[in-house]
Amino acid sequence: MSILSPRDRVIARIRNVAIGSNGAADVHFRGDETTPRGTYRIAWIDRHSRFGLFFGLNYPTPAVAARAYLEGRIGRASLDAIVEAFREHRIAPQDTPLGGELGIHGLGAGAPPWIQRSVNWTDGCVALAPAQMREFSRWAHVGTRVVIR
């Protein structure tokens, strides 16, 4: 995962992260436990999540929605709602077949720090160990671009 500056300069690369238990995918669908590859922005920050800090990503994006629509995986209403939210600078609907509430978070209470190096365990988010989360938090704010590869 890479963090980019407003001028597209890589600020940090974070490796050895945990992702969805079914790996990475170009398009994430609700319940498939994949982490979507691509470039996203941090859209909101929840300081009281069960994982500690949660940096919500602007998933699904209009590009992802258009691809899913062309593949027949979502309907026109979902596509239109996602595109309209983007145009109005709102968070996209999180309840379409593309899912939502994806982001970057810590391990949460009770999770051993080694888990993110041993197994991909999330439902689609990117999970960071405590030291990684502290580093990420130094640069991350609403609007920060994040690349998941």
Low-confidence ranges of the chain (pLDDT < 70): 2-7, 110-111, 113, 116-117
What is the pTM for the complete model shown? 0.89
Residue 116: the pLDDT is 65
Q: Would you kindly state where each structural domain of the chain is located, as residue ranges?
A: 2-59+99-148
* Residue located via tokens 């109005």: 88
Domain boundaries 2-59+99-148, corresponding CATH code:
2.40.440.10
Structure tokens at 139: 């640069």
Sheet architecture: strand order including 2-4: 10-13, 2-4, 145-148, 38-49, 52-57, 103-105, 126-127
In whole angstroms, give the CA distance from residue 60 to residue 38: 11
24-65 pLDDT, tens digit each: 999 999 999 999 999 999 999 999 998 889 999 999 999 999
